[in-house]
Structure 1
Amino acid sequence: MPEHPRTLQSSTLGTSGVAPVSLSVVSPVYGCKGCLEELVDRIASAVAPLGGTFEVILVDDCSPDGAWSRITELAESRPWLRGLRLSRNFGQHYAIAAGIEGSRGNVVVVMDCDLQDSPEDIPALVAGLVDTDVVFGQRTERQDSASKRFFSWAFFRLLSWLTGVPQDHTTANFGAYSRKVIDVINDMPERDRCFPLMVKWTGFSTSYLPVSHATRKEGSSGYSFSKLLRLATEIVLSYSDKPLRLVVKVGLGFAAIAFGMVAWTLFRFIQGDTQVAGFTSIIASIWLVGGVIISCLGILGLYLGRLFIDAKRRPYYLVSEQTPEEHRAN
């Protein structure tokens, strides 16, 4: 596994003074209490042949099924297992941030907890880091509903257009990342976090490895339509300024139309045609222009709102509990 000379810095999770391990596996936990034992044991079996020391970090994003009690129970008999519990439900990408900021591995693997990502693919992902800094798991055959696959494809196509950066809907969080990449992401100060987009933004060398994708072992996705819409809005506002540039273009377009209408009116006046415009067309124009203005102001307001939130400089997650120190791998 690649070694990086940078010394690990003390994090907010109290890892100062603890020697790094070879591999960290980080998984945010929400609504999957029943499959956690299978998850951690399959991870341990998969990474054992790699040699070296490893740790598994489960981050309880205030799971409604009482997953924290199960995490602490599992950690008592597995010294390589660490658990963090967030004070409330911050969201998947914030739970990932908590996990990677507390990780000590020279290589960090991020995966979901529902076992749709296969732990048996971890060795191949880690092996791919020999020649690159990032290896994304590429889900060529997703075991999701047709509607979820379609919305995922449509969202990433829209995001590619808005950001100008190609996005692949077959990749998500699952992948292996060198310590260099993780350190850079941990140093990013922005409050809005989207882990795979932050990784891609760094521009470090990246490769893709086809991985298996299974059906969800337990429960259902915590992303409702409203949550997905909110997440999409936050990502667009945080990683693209194209909506603002579109507002400018729309304004210029309407200005051009207005100048054209003025020129046409003057031409008709010169020709002696002084016909008064109809009431319906005037009202329609007022409503159209008014709607565009309000929409543009709304987009500007959303961006200002994000700036207001960032200006508060509040932490983007809070850890309320973690498993005892003596359960950590040395």
Structure 2
Amino acid sequence: MSEIEISIVSPVYRAESLVDKLVERIISSVSKITDSYEIILVEDCGLDNSWQKIQENCNKYSVVKGIKLSRNYGQQHAIQAGLDASAGRYVITMDCDLQDQPEEIDKLLSKAKEGFEIVVASRKNRQDDFFKKMLSRIFYSTLGYLTETKQDRTVANFVCYHRKAVDAMASLKDHNRYYPMLQQMIGFNYTKVDIEHAEREDGRSSYSFKKRLKLAIDTILTFSDKPLRLTVKFGVFLSFLSICGAITMVVLYIFSDVKAEGWASLALLVSFFSGIIISVLGMVGLYVGRTFESVKHRPTYIVQEKIN
């Protein structure tokens, strides 16, 4: 059994106005459950004063630990840094914007103690704008289709892990760390708990459309080969259409007076198939590039500074 009962991990990015509230509410909630806990705040190089706020809270509370990454690695890698530094028997991951409410931690923890290694918070009545909800729906639908997995858009980073699950995910060497997929890969007992999703306490989400698109592409390339299989099927389909077109032209040439202009159809076909070939080569290149990144065995993040 770990010396620490509960670790709370929260990636922090451009959230200097939220750090104090986050720490106070976590301490208020978790101290009612146990005295054996730690709070790990991972600053993902947001270029604001978030790290200074983390330092102040580390000096004020011995249970707060700060990790500053050397550059912006992204939310999933910041979560990984926190998980790697955690020592608790149970580890809670949560966003720093307080839409994941610290008061709900007890609900996740109680469910985990029933024998579940992974307990995920399912957000009821998401407090997001229409555009963000629409992007979320498109993202999860596309990701689920291309990775051939079940994706639930009501869940995010508010999760309670048993130490066994944390260690199992750490053993996976995928360079891209998308935790909803890793949770499915390790195959431990998994369940969901309904929670209330709060409005963002302050500021705006820094998770832009560009970042969401990059996350989607990275995840699909890491966890699925379906895009490659789809291009093969598309190529076979185009070949079938070409054969049908050739047969049609021969029949028309023999049994009717219709004569196809050779150069026009040839130019269109060359342009069309050139585009297809370039697209397929580009997709293969993305997979090769992803493999190249993996075999270099570079660390997924680098820590610049630690406190406590």
Structure 2 counterpart of 1:141, which letter? N
1:51 Cα offset (Å): 2.2
| 3-state SS, counterpart of residue 58 of structure 2 | helix
Measure the CA separation in 2 of the matches of 1:264 and 1:120: 69
Note the C-alpha offset of 1:277: 2.8
Query: Aligned letter for 1:115?
Result: L
Aligned Cα RMSD in Å? 1.6
Q: Which amino acid aligns with 2:52?
A: S
Q: Secondary structure at the match of 1:221?
A: coil
Please name the residue that 2:70 is paired with: 87
CA contact (8 A) 2:68 2:306 kept: yes
In the alignment, structure 2 segments of 5+ residues that lack a partner are none
Asked if 1:233 corresponds to 2:189, the answer is: no
- After superposition, the C-alpha distances for 1:239-268 in whole angstroms (9 at most, x for unaligned) are 111100011111111111222223333434
Within 2, Cα distance between the matches of 1:256 and 1:103? 56
Question: What aligned pairs does 1:34-73 form with structure 2 within 5 A after superposition?
Answer: 34-73=17-56
Partner of 1:128: 111
CA distance in 2: counterparts of 1:56 and 1:237, whole angstroms: 33
For 2:201 and 2:238, locate their aligned partners in 1 and report how far apart those are by CA, in whole Å: 53
1:168-207 matched pairs, under 5 angstroms = 168-207=152-191
Stretches of 4+ moved more than 6 A in 1? none
Q: Which amino acid aligns with 1:173?
A: N
- Partner of residue 33 from structure 1, selected from 16, 29, 34: 16
8 Å contact 1:21–1:52 — kept in the other structure? no
1:320 is paired with a residue whose SS is strand
The whole-number CA distance in structure 1 between the counterparts of 2:288 and 2:277 is 16
Give the aligned length. Answer: 307
Which stretch shifts more, 216-225 or 137-146? 216-225
- Kindly provide the CA deviation profile for residues 170-212 of structure 1, in whole angstroms up to 9, marking residues without a partner as x: 1011011111110011111111111222112222221111111
Aligned partner (choices 128, 135, 155) of residue 151 of structure 1: 135
2:7 maps to what in 1? 24
1:137 aligns with 2:121: yes
Q: Which amino acid aligns with 2:64?
A: L
8 A Cα contact 1:121 1:211, kept in partner: yes
- Percentage of identical aligned residues: 38
Match status 1:282 vs 2:254: no
Deviation at 1:275, TM superposition (A): 2.1
Question: Distance between the aligned counterparts of 2:187 and 2:130, measured in 1?
Answer: 32
Residue pair 1:31, 1:219 contacting (<8 A) in 2 also = no
Q: In 2, are the aligned partners of 1:58 and 1:71 still within 8 Å (CA)?
A: yes
> How much does 1:278 deviate?
5.3
Rounded Cα–Cα distance in structure 1 between residues aligned with 2:264 and 2:126: 52
Q: How far does residue 272 in structure 1 lie from its aligned partner after superposition?
A: 6.8
Secondary structure, in 3 states, of the residue corresponding to 1:58?
Answer: strand
Q: Specify which of 189, 193, 207 is matched with residue 209 of structure 1.
A: 193
Indicate the residue corresponding to 2:244 in structure 1.
260
Mapped to 1, the partners of 2:200 and 2:276 lie a distance apart of 43
What is the Cα deviation at residue 270 of structure 1?
A: 4.5
User: SS at 2:175's partner residue?
Assistant: coil
Q: Which amino acid aligns with 2:185?
A: W
- 2:230 is paired with a residue of what secondary structure? helix
Q: Secondary structure at the match of 1:321?
A: strand
TM-score between the two structures when normalised by the length of structure 2: 0.95
Q: Which runs of 5+ in 1 are unaligned?
A: 4-18, 325-330
User: Residues of 2 paired with 1:210 and 1:27: CA distance?
Assistant: 20
For residues 243 and 284 of structure 1, what CA distance do their matches in structure 2 show?
25
- Offset from partner CA, 1:144-173 (integer Å, 9 cap, x none): 110000110111011111111110001011
Letter in 1 for 2:58: A
Aligned partner of 1:242: which letter?
K
How high is the TM-score relative to the length of structure 1?
Answer: 0.89
Q: CA deviation at 1:67?
A: 1.1
Which residue in the other structure is 1:109 paired with? 92
Q: d(CA) in 2 for partners of 1:104 and 1:95?
A: 16
